[in-house]
Amino acid sequence: MTMKTGKQYIESLRKLNPKVYCFGEKVESVVDYPLFKPHVHAAAMTYELAHKPEFQEIMTATSHLTGKRINRFTHIHQSTEDLVKKVRMMRLLGQRTGTCFQRCVGLDALNGIYVTSYDIDQKYGSKYHEHFKAFLQYVQQNDLMSAGAMSDPKGDRSLRPHEQDDPDVYLRVVERQSDGIVIRGAKAHITGSINSHEIIAMPTRAMGPEDRDYAVSFSVPVDTEGITLIFGRQTNDTRRLEGELDAGNPKYGIVGGEALIVFDDVFVPWEQVFMCGEHEFALELVETFAGYHRSNYGGCKVGLADVVIGASAWIAESNGIERASNIRNTLTEMVSMAETCWSCALACSYEGYQTPSGGYMINPLLANVEKLNITRFTYEWMRLAQDIAGGIIITLPSQRDFEHPEIGKYIDKYIKGKKGFSTRDRIKMYRLIENMAVGAGLPEAMQGAGSPTAMRIMIGREANIERKKELAKVIAGIREDRYFQDITQMKEDKAKAKGKNSRK
Ligand code: SF4
Ligand code: FE
């Protein structure tokens, strides 16, 4: 089998037996647990759309390893066109689910490790890349969903991994054996992990020589012995247990679904290890993975913006105010911000480059600008959605009241809008806006793929302020205008930067 359908993905999860806890109880079946169903359905969409002929071009790709048609979520980008198709896929899925569909983290981990394991092998003559390619082929053939696990709990942030009181607050190798390594520690806030097949771990920060036990990357099946997943709460999460009308987005949920993953002396065979001790490559893997993941947000979150803009316009219409100039201006403002982020997603993809491994990387400056814009603009367009919808999104009575034999009629009468719009539909749309504009999606837009500070550091590093100072000096007349020399210099700088980026 190369490409699973949504149903086959769900069935494949039944064959796994991960140790998952939620609300203090052990979850017997991830697929059937009511709180998890929306997350599973959202991820299933990444499988389902790959079978629609109209979306084949962006949802599928040709494997560079086997020449077979595969789901793009298991593909190593082979061109800038691939990078562009990836963000188009993200926007499409955001539009179809209205939430986080989770599978991108694993895709970015595959691409990040592909690039970095090649570079490690070049330096050390190790076999990480070869092992990784065998794993990748297995992922492609079985169309697996992988959870990319990067964030460590981190303990005292002022201390490096090896300086911590508790050595386990960063994931580490506790034992090296002839056939594999033993891992202890945890990864936190890991999106989609309960409903993934594999967990791919990566280091979370730059590491020094004393941190070499922490410079580790590997993959294990989610139900490997010694792994425990503890599911995190989300704003209004139990609403989905209370009724379809109260849930907001009953089929696909609020946001990705994150878990704390504990590794209690987990054995990983060497074939599944992609970095072990090469501390100087930890930062490369972090930045490559983060660059890919940041480039996604102008796709997925803009897909969500499309949904919330549509919901706001619908609500305005049902209130009879769709022609009011303030409503039209507000909707235009929302579109403008969303398309700005989308432009960044396209730009960082078109400006991508080939790495020595052959895989393509996005332009890191533009991807970090993109994600920084997302941390601001998402709040802004959701604020404007709240503005159009009004305070009712936080005062609306419950489904049980609406369906109550005695008082339901009052809600129907007083929540009514313009003729032609049912009160039931209006409640659904208000709840959708509440879900998207007030819920956990906001901090996710802020912190997912790294905090704004992480982006500012990367932007500062990539910005080449010195060069800009030279340009200003010429214009101010402080320095001689050597236009043609400058152009040559700029070309050289660019070639140098590209060499540095592609780590040639
Ligand atoms: Fe994918 Fe976006 Fe969710 Fe990240 S936040 S996993 S990029 S849908
Ligand atoms: Fe995310």
| Res 424: pLDDT | 97
Residues 12 and 93 reside in one and the same domain: yes
Residues 351 and 380 reside in one and the same domain: yes
Per-residue pLDDT band at 497 (split at 50, 70, 90): low
CA of 321 to the centre of ligand 1 (A): 34
Determine the structural domain holding residue 450 and report its residue range.
286-462
- For residue 504, pLDDT over 80 is answered with no
CA of 422 to the centre of ligand 1 (A): 33
Asked if 183 and 263 touch (Cβ cutoff 8 Å), the reply is yes
78-120 pLDDT, tens digit per residue, is: 999 999 999 999 999 999 999 999 999 999 999 999 999 999 9
Residues 413 and 333 reside in one and the same domain: yes
Q: Where are the alpha helices (DSSP H) in 193-350?
A: 239-242, 244-247, 282-318, 325-350
Residue 121 exposure: Cα atoms within 13 Å on the Cβ side: 18
Q: How many residues does the chain have?
A: 504
CA of 108 to the centre of ligand 2 (A): 11
| Res 156: pLDDT | 98
**Cβ contacts of residue 44 below 8 Å, gap of 6+?**
6, 7, 9, 10
Residue type, 199: I
Residue type, 324: A
149-178 pLDDT, tens digit per residue, is: 999 999 999 999 999 999 999 999 999 999
Q: How far is it, in rounded angstroms, from Cα 68 to Cα 406?
A: 61
Q: How far is it, in rounded angstroms, from Cα 504 to Cα 399?
A: 60
CATH number at residue 107: 2.40.110.10
Backbone φ and ψ of 21, nearest 5° = -120, 145
Nearest CA to ligand 1 atom 6: 102
Asked if 217 and 273 touch (Cβ cutoff 8 Å), the reply is yes
CATH number at residue 299: 1.20.140.10
- For residue 24, pLDDT over 90 is answered with yes
- Average pLDDT score over residue span 44-57: 98
Residues 427 and 483 reside in one and the same domain: no
Per-residue pLDDT band at 501 (split at 50, 70, 90): low
Q: Catalytic one among 47, 118, 297, 360? A: 297
Backbone φ and ψ of 37, nearest 5° = -55, -45
- For residue 439, pLDDT over 90 is answered with no
- Average pLDDT score over residue span 75-79: 98
Residues 21 and 90 reside in one and the same domain: yes
Domain boundary among 224, 257, 279: 279
Cα dist. 383→337, 432, 496 in Å?
12, 14, 43
Q: Is residue 1 part of a domain?
A: no
Per-residue pLDDT band at 481 (split at 50, 70, 90): confident
At 159, list the tokens.
Answer: 């201390």
Backbone φ and ψ of 15, nearest 5° = -80, -10
Q: How far is it, in rounded angstroms, from Cα 324 to Cα 14?
A: 52
Q: Is the CB of 104 under 6 A from ligand 1?
A: yes
Residues 209 and 74 reside in one and the same domain: yes
CA of 123 to the centre of ligand 2 (A): 32
User: Quick one: what percent of the chain has pLDDT higher than 70?
Assistant: 96
Residues 493 and 384 reside in one and the same domain: no
Residues 429 and 474 reside in one and the same domain: no
352-395 pLDDT, tens digit per residue, is: 999 999 999 999 999 999 999 999 999 999 999 999 999 999 99
State the burial class of residue 322 (Cβ atoms within 10 Å of its Cβ: 0-12, 13-18, 19+). middle
Residues 438 and 498 reside in one and the same domain: no
Q: Which of 46, 100, 341, 370 to mutate to test the pocket of ligand 1 (most atoms within 8 A of CB)?
A: 100
Nearest CA to ligand 1 atom 7: 296
The per-residue pLDDT of the chain, averaged, comes to 95
Q: Is the CB of 255 under 6 A from ligand 1?
A: no
- For residue 503, pLDDT over 60 is answered with no
274-317 pLDDT, tens digit per residue, is: 999 999 999 999 999 999 999 999 999 999 999 999 999 999 99
State the burial class of residue 501 (Cβ atoms within 10 Å of its Cβ: 0-12, 13-18, 19+). middle
Count of domains in the chain? 3
Domain boundary among 279, 296, 330: 279
Residue type, 19: K
| Res 484: pLDDT | 63
Q: Which of 46, 93, 105 to mutate to test the pocket of ligand 1 (most atoms within 8 A of CB)?
A: 105
Helices and strands in the chain, H and E counts: 18, 14
Q: Is residue 488 part of a domain?
A: yes
| Res 74: pLDDT | 98
| Res 499: pLDDT | 60
Residues 255 and 146 reside in one and the same domain: yes
Atom from ligand 1 closest to the CA of residue 108: 7
Q: What is the DSSP letter of 137?
A: H
User: Quick one: what percent of the chain has pLDDT higher than 90?
Assistant: 90
- Average pLDDT score over residue span 406-430: 97
